[in-house]
Amino acid sequence: MRRSRERLAGACLAGILLSAGGCTTLGPDFQTPEAAIAEEWKAQDAARIQKDAEFNHDWWTALNDPVLDDLVDIAYQQNLPLQISGLRILQARAQLGIAIGQQFPQFQQAAGALTRDKLSENQPNFNPALDDKYWQVNAGFDASWELDFWGRFRRGVESASANLGSQIASYDDALVSVTAEVARIYVVIRTLEERVAIARDNAKTQERSYQIADVKFRNGAVSELDPSQALTLLRSTEAQIPELETQLHQAMNALSILLGMPPGDLSSLLQGEKGIPSPPAEIAVGIPADLLRRRPDIRQAELQAASQSAAVGVAVTELYPRFSLVGSIGFLSSDTNESDLDDLFESDSFGYSVGPSFAWPILNYGRLKNNVRVQDARLEEALVNYQNTVLEALREVEDGLAGFTGTNAQAVLLVDSVKAAERSVHLALIQYRDGAVDYQRVLDTQQSLLSAQDRYTNVRGEIVLNLVATYKALGGGWQIRAGNDILPQERQEQMRDRTDWGGLIPETVPDDLPGPPPTGKAQPMFNRPDW
């Protein structure tokens, strides 16, 4: 009879293990929501816009500025917020390892103890014939394995895998922002340098005009009003120079932080060809649908929704009973009766306990159902956020294209304005020397020249800034990480010296953006547990 019962118990355990392979997975299977995508860009028929040409991922190289190329490379290697994003990938990878490990026996423990026990003589049914003082020693192994009947752990793996993909997309989005911001500030620096030079050149011209007016005043040819007006304009122009230089220093400080270095002199890095970079004759923009797979923030929003979808499944499983296999084997001995502590590993000291168990939180007062509702509302929030992210991406591209085409049109007109203003200043000075016009005419033309030159320089900078904004909106720049580590070697070594990271450092990431994982599974490249 005893053997029959043991065989029956063994058969039950085998049946439970076999049935675990056919368990269901509760909760919704993630589906990427529909997003409103236009078929073509509004500005695609504008001059210099190409929709059919291949998109240039290293778009800053199209500006043909070696200094900018070097700055982008330095920022990629040293930018600290980018390294923070890389560290979050490692965190998510380790979290995925935890989720995968949950699918295996969750509790295993080898334990042992040596205790001195004293029985209370006042305890119920105390037997004076028993030894009330004795030593006891034990050594054994305990294990518990909750079977994944409802897919709780599979959904956990799915959620952790999507979260890992989301962190990779977040890293790529940070890389897009870093490259675009380096280019933007570089253009601002070059624009400010030209504006400072223009102000200084105009100040020299106005200084000569002041000297002419002062000489004529001293000779009694004009009143004191002329040199006074000339000096007013001169000092006003000179006052613009410190203001522009302050903005220039602040822009260089911002660039230093992007490069991962303290604010300081960047003259060695900014040497070479100076001037505002020239935009390419044409830019390739592709079609709007390309954004869904190229822009990291869109993929991040999609993966965040996928992770939350799996979290809904985890919450649903809490409504159902949990089935586990529990077991304990070990040796126990004491110095009572005819036993001795040395008998610990004798066959008579061996014992075990094994069998199935279940737990079902039936009286939860609606807490579990409401948790499902909370998780489902968060999922819907993530889905709406995905759709909104797509719309914002479309707007950013359209804004960038509109700005690029508009400022190009402005520049064409402002070139003629600058040429006309230069000619006007030249003629006004000649006529003033000859006494044909008063100084107000000279004053007006010089003010117009400074305004026209400064505005034209600003617009030339804005052309490139709008181009940078367009390329950022199109999602270019993150591809430079392909085949490279996500952390500098020095930081990797520092972390290895402090903690055993196994094979997670350096972590390899896919060359393209990851998509949502299949239901209940991790991405294939990440589905190995690191014990």
Q: How many domains does the chain have?
A: 1
Give the pLDDT of residue 18: 46
* Residues 331-351 pLDDT 10s: 888 888 777 777 788 878 888
Q: From the CB of residue 99, how many other CB atoms can be counted at a distance below 10 Å?
A: 22
Give the pLDDT of residue 132: 79
Could you tell me what percent of the chain has a pLDDT over 70? 91
pLDDT above 80 for 225: yes
User: Tokens at residue 345, please?
Assistant: 């590993």
Instruction: Give exposure, 389-418, as e/b (b: 16+ Cβ within 10 Å).
Output: bbeebbebbbebbbbbbbbbebeeebeebb
| Residues with Cβ within 8 Å of residue 336, at least 6 apart in sequence | 130, 131, 134
Give the pLDDT of residue 466: 95
Please give the C-alpha separations between residue 338 and each of 112, 129, 344, in angstroms, as whole numbers: 22, 14, 13
Alpha carbons 486 and 168: distance in angstroms, whole number: 10
**Structural domain includes residue 353:** no
Please provide residue 103's backbone torsions phi and psi, each rounded to the nearest 5 degrees: -80, -15
**Side chain identity at 484, as an amino acid letter?**
N
The rounded radius of gyration (Å) of the Cα atoms in the chain is: 37
**Structural domain includes residue 245:** yes
Q: What is the mean pLDDT of residues 363-367?
A: 85
Q: What is the mean pLDDT of residues 261-277?
A: 84
pLDDT band at 3 (very low <50, low <70, confident <90, very high): low
pLDDT above 70 for 452: yes
**Structural domain includes residue 257:** yes
Q: What is the mean pLDDT of residues 393-408?
A: 92
Alpha carbons 55 and 291: distance in angstroms, whole number: 11
User: Tokens at residue 132, please?
Assistant: 């009330």
Could you tell me what percent of the chain has a pLDDT over 90? 54
SS (H, E, C) 347-384: HHHEEEEEEEEEECCCCCCCHHHHHHHHHHHHHHHHHH
Please give the C-alpha separations between residue 52 and each of 40, 94, 477, in angstroms, as whole numbers: 11, 42, 20
pLDDT band at 124 (very low <50, low <70, confident <90, very high): confident
Give the pLDDT of residue 44: 66
Comparing C-alpha atoms, which of 180, 167, 178 is closest to residue 81?
178
pLDDT above 80 for 7: no
Please provide residue 164's backbone torsions phi and psi, each rounded to the nearest 5 degrees: -65, -45
Strand order through the sheet with 133-146: 107-118, 133-146, 322-334, 350-359
CATH number of the domain that 273 lies in?
1.20.1600.10
Domain of residue 170, residue span: 2-103+148-321+360-520
Angle (deg, nearest 10), helices 152-218 and 367-433: 20
Residue corresponding to tokens 């230069």:
422
Please give the C-alpha separations between residue 419 and each of 339, 449, 464, in angstroms, as whole numbers: 111, 9, 22
Alpha carbons 152 and 133: distance in angstroms, whole number: 48
Give the pLDDT of residue 309: 95
Give the pLDDT of residue 49: 79
pLDDT band at 523 (very low <50, low <70, confident <90, very high): low
Q: Contact 178/79 with Cβ under 8 angstroms?
A: yes
Comparing C-alpha atoms, which of 407, 402, 447 is closest to residue 424?
447
List, as own/partner pairs, every contact residues 445-448 make where C-beta atoms lie below 8 angstroms and the sequence separation is at least 24, other chains included: 445/421, 446/202, 446/205, 446/206, 446/209, 446/233, 447/233, 448/421, 448/424
pLDDT above 60 for 440: yes
Instruction: Give exposure, 102-136, as e/b (b: 16+ Cβ within 10 Å).
Output: bbeeeeeeeeeeeeeeeeeeeeeeeeeeeeeebeb
pLDDT above 60 for 75: yes
By DSSP bridging, strand 107-118 and strand 350-359 are unpaired
pLDDT band at 525 (very low <50, low <70, confident <90, very high): low
Q: Contact 191/458 with Cβ under 8 angstroms?
A: yes
* Residues 159-214 pLDDT 10s: 999 999 999 999 999 999 999 999 999 999 999 999 999 999 999 999 998 998 89
**Structural domain includes residue 352:** no
Q: From the CB of residue 441, how many other CB atoms can be counted at a distance below 10 Å?
A: 16
pLDDT above 50 for 241: yes
Alpha carbons 368 and 397: distance in angstroms, whole number: 44
User: Tokens at residue 436, please?
Assistant: 């044909």
Number of C-alpha atoms within 13 angstroms, CB side, residue 477?
A: 30
What is the rounded average pLDDT for all residues in the chain? 87
* Residues 291-313 pLDDT 10s: 888 899 999 999 999 999 999 99
DSSP state of 493: H
List, as own/partner pairs, every contact residues 500-504 make where C-beta atoms lie below 8 angstroms and the sequence separation is at least 24, other chains included: 501/90, 502/530, 503/530, 504/90, 504/93, 504/94, 504/530
pLDDT above 90 for 269: no
pLDDT band at 106 (very low <50, low <70, confident <90, very high): confident
Give the pLDDT of residue 273: 65
Q: What is the mean pLDDT of residues 314-323?
A: 93
User: Tokens at residue 422, please?
Assistant: 């230069």
Alpha carbons 355 and 351: distance in angstroms, whole number: 14
